[in-house]
């Protein structure tokens, strides 16, 4: 092995350690291009998406990243880039496995550009970057799912409490502004002639927008697009805005916008619109994020039976959350975990081939191997916590037995049923037991717990009792609130009894035929 390849091993090890330390996919992408540029002494480095969007870059002034030129290099249509302060420089692109179709682009001054050994290092960096972005992307999805479900739950609670539609409008605008990373969110009500009246606004410059202002129909703008199609719509280039709202958009320097319809009793009522002044378009999933809120707004406007509507809304949220958990668990188990194992084995092989006389590199690679092993265990634990495969494959009984074996305290498990139950019931019962055992171990200082699950006629009763300190507050944590929402979404009930110093008992009853 040559000195250059030894250097490559060291650089790859340091690169892996650095990129793996970031907490989000966006920060890891930026960290990857910064370290790639530093390691290869390059003036420019960037990650370019399949559609030409620049995911992360270094070497360009803010707001002046030449996305078209970078995309041309990534697609193999050109082999040089104009580097600020330097001029044309040789450029090279290597593909990334994740995001699909993306590429890592590097440009360095000098007549020859990167050598073959350095391009090999760049390929190694791309593999490490792909793995890190895939893992962090899954974790980002899980965080986003929790944030959206929490936001939907807050709005759903307002609807169920009979809060005025105006207060619901304002709450939805505020929640969408946070979730969609939009500087401005507006809500409009359509009049019979197609004009639109603003009923709520939140975010940057919202104070400058008059509530009640009416805008006539016509032109190329979000109000007209949603009205004509009664479907979600977007405009990624606000310079094309025309019609009554164009002047407002230009005044506020809006660059792109997304809108989603509010449909009440099958008829178009209004729209929620999110916009940004940033040069890049609104994220591709913005319409989907808004859609859940438009349903809740419609519920408030229709003023139907609040309890029935809330139960239906909760059930949709719970079902969506469970499906997302299953998908993330499958991705972690079938893709990421297997790739991590492969990467660890390759790193071990690389470590074994390391020439003598590089003690620092040897130590660093050992630390990285330990970190990969620890990360793999953490991912396995996360995967089990998201949605255990045993629950889907074999049912509630085996899943609870596995949960009891892994629990942080001794569990006396009494299962009084011998068949598969409806999937929503099994999932709800599993998470009731999981949350109760976690609370007993983490917060109550319990030395043991008793779990009884009994099938009685058309209901499943789940009882968890611990011998901890008691005094649990049913409204004091998002975990118990989320459990209550999950149980009540199925038409069930949940009772918490927790006198101070006398342990805690959680009893949930779940109807087998749903709400």
**What is the pairing mode between strands 80-83 and 504-511?**
unpaired
Confidence check: pLDDT of 439 > 50: yes
* pLDDT tens profile 18-39: 887 888 888 889 999 998 898 8
- Burial readout 351-363 (b: 16 or more C-beta within 10 A, e: otherwise): beebeeebeebbe
**What is the pairing mode between strands 493-497 and 504-511?**
antiparallel
- Indicate the CATH number for domain 389-511: 3.30.565.10
Which pair of tokens denotes residue 515?
């709400």
Q: Which residues have a Cβ under 8 Å from the Cβ of 419 and sit 6 or more positions away?
A: none
Q: Between the CA of residue 403 and those of 291, 328, 406, 407, 473, what are the distances in Å?
A: 35, 19, 5, 6, 24
Q: Between the CA of residue 107 and those of 16, 114, 237, what are the distances in Å?
A: 21, 8, 29
Q: Quick one: which of 131, 130, 124, 140 has its CA closest to 103?
A: 130
CA distance 478 to 462: 20
Confidence check: pLDDT of 356 > 80: no
Lowest mean pLDDT segment, chosen from 41-50, 96-105, 189-198, 324-333: 324-333
This prediction's pTM:
0.44
Confidence check: pLDDT of 349 > 80: no
Which pair of tokens denotes residue 161?
């409490």
Structure letter (DSSP) for residue 223: H
Q: Between the CA of residue 184 and those of 212, 244, 259, 389, 393, what are the distances in Å?
A: 17, 18, 12, 41, 45
Confidence check: pLDDT of 351 > 80: no
Domain boundaries of the chain, sorted by first residue: 182-282, 389-511
What number is the average pLDDT over the span 417-440? 90
Q: Collapsing DSSP states into helix, strand and coil, what is residue 351?
A: helix
Q: Please state whether the peptide bond connecting residue 99 to the residue before it is cis, i.e. omega within 30 degrees of 0.
A: yes
pLDDT of residue 311: 56
Q: Collapsing DSSP states into helix, strand and coil, what is residue 1?
A: coil
Q: Between the CA of residue 283 and those of 177, 250, 289, 319, what are the distances in Å?
A: 13, 21, 10, 24
Q: How confident is the model at residue 472 (pLDDT cuts 50, 70, 90)?
A: confident
Q: Collapsing DSSP states into helix, strand and coil, what is residue 161?
A: coil
Confidence check: pLDDT of 300 > 80: no
- Would you report the helix, strand and coil content of the chain in percent, each value rounded to 5? 50, 20, 30
| Helix orientation angle between 337-352 and 359-386, rounded to the nearest 10 degrees | 170
* pLDDT tens profile 123-137: 888 888 888 888 888
- Per residue, the 3-state secondary structure of 109-143, as one string, reads CCCCCCCHHHHHHHHHHHHHHHHHHHHHHHHHHHH
Q: Give the alpha-carbon dihedral of 77, 83, 88, 90, to 10 degrees.
A: -60
Confidence check: pLDDT of 142 > 60: yes
CA distance 205 to 183: 8
Q: How confident is the model at residue 305 (pLDDT cuts 50, 70, 90)?
A: very low
Q: Which helix (H) or strand (E) holds 446?
A: none
Q: Collapsing DSSP states into helix, strand and coil, what is residue 96?
A: coil
What number is the average pLDDT over the span 391-406? 89
Lowest mean pLDDT segment, chosen from 56-60, 172-176, 189-193: 172-176
Q: Provide the greatest CA pair distance for the chain.
A: 81
For the chain, give me the number of helices (H) and strands (E)?
15, 16
Confidence check: pLDDT of 144 > 90: no
Confidence check: pLDDT of 47 > 50: yes
* pLDDT tens profile 254-281: 888 999 998 887 889 989 998 888 877 8
CA distance 165 to 262: 13
Which pair of tokens denotes residue 488?
């009540």
Q: Quick one: which of 94, 91, 98, 93 has its CA closest to 129?
A: 98
CA distance 62 to 485: 45
- Per CATH, which fold does 182-282 belong to? Beta-Lactamase (3.30.450)
Angle at 489 between CA 488 and CA 493, to 5 degrees: 15
Confidence check: pLDDT of 16 > 90: no
> What is the average pLDDT score of the chain?
81
CA distance 91 to 37: 12
Residue 137 falls in which region: left (phi positive, over 0), alpha (psi -120 to 50) or beta: alpha
pLDDT of residue 3: 33
Separation of first and last alpha carbons in the chain: 68
Four-residue CA torsion sign, 241, 247, 248, 250: positive
Confidence check: pLDDT of 335 > 60: no
Q: Which residues have a Cβ under 8 Å from the Cβ of 241 and sit 6 or more positions away?
A: 219, 220, 221, 235, 249, 250, 254
pLDDT of residue 164: 76
Q: Quick one: which of 312, 318, 319 has its CA closest to 296?
A: 312
């Amino acid at each position: 092995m040559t000195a250059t390849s030894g250097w490559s091993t060291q650089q790859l090890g340091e690169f892996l350690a650095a990129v793996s330390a970031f907490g989000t996919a966006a920060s890891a992408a930026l960290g990857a291009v910064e370290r790639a540029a530093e390691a290869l002494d390059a003036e420019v480095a960037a990650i370019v998406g399949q559609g030409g969007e620049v995911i992360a870059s270094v070497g360009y002034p803010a707001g002046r990243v030449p996305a078209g030129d970078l995309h041309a290099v990534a697609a193999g249509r050109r082999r040089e880039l104009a580097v600020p302060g330097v001029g044309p420089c040789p450029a090279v692109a290597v593909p990334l496995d994740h995001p699909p179709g993306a590429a890592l682009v590097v440009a360095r001054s000098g007549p020859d550009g990167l050598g073959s050994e350095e391009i090999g290092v760049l390929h190694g960096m791309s593999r490490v970057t792909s793995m890190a972005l895939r893992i962090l992307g899954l974790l980002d999805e899980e965080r986003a799912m929790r944030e959206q479900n929490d936001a939907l739950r807050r709005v759903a609670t307002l609807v169920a409490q009979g809060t005025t539609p105006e207060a619901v409008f304002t709450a939805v605008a505020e929640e969408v502004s946070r979730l969609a990373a939009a500087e401005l969110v507006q809500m409009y009500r359509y009049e019979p002639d197609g004009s639109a009246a603003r009923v709520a606004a939140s975010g940057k410059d919202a104070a400058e927008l008059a509530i009640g202002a009416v805008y006539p129909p016509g032109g190329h703008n979000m109000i007209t697009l949603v009205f004509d199609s009664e479907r979600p719509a977007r405009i990624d280039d606000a310079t094309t805005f025309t019609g009554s709202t164009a002047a407002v958009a230009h005044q506020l320097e809006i660059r792109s916008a997304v809108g989603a319809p509010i449909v009440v009793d099958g008829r178009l009522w209004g729209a929620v619109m999110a916009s940004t002044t940033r040069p890049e378009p609104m994220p591709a999933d913005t319409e989907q994020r808004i859609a859940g809120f438009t349903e809740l707004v419609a519920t408030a406007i229709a003023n139907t039976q609040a309890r029935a509507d809330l139960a239906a809304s909760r059930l949709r949220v719970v079902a969506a959350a469970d499906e997302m958990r299953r998908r993330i668990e499958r991705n972690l188990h079938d893709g990421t975990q297997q790739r991590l194992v492969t990467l660890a084995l390759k790193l071990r092989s690389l470590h074994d081939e390391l020439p003598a006389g590089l003690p620092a590199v040897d130590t660093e690679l050992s630390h990285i191997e330990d970190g990969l092993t620890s990360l793999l265990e953490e991912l396995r634990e996360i995967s089990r916590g998201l949605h255990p495969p045993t629950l889907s494959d074999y049912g509630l009984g085996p899943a609870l037995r596995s949960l009891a074996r892994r629990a942080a305290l001794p569990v006396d498990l009494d299962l009084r049923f011998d068949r598969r139950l409806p999937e929503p019931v099994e999932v709800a019962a599993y998470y009731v037991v999981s949350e109760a055992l976690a609370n007993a171990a983490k917060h109550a200082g319990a030395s043991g717990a008793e779990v009884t699950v009994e099938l009685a006629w058309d209901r499943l009763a789940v009882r968890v009792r611990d011998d901890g300190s008691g005094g649990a507050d049913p409204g004091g944590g998002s975990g118990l609130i989320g459990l209550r929402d999950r149980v009540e979404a199925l038409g069930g009930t949940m009772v918490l009894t927790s006198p101070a110093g006398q342990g805690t008992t959680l009893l949930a009853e779940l109807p087998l035929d749903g709400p």
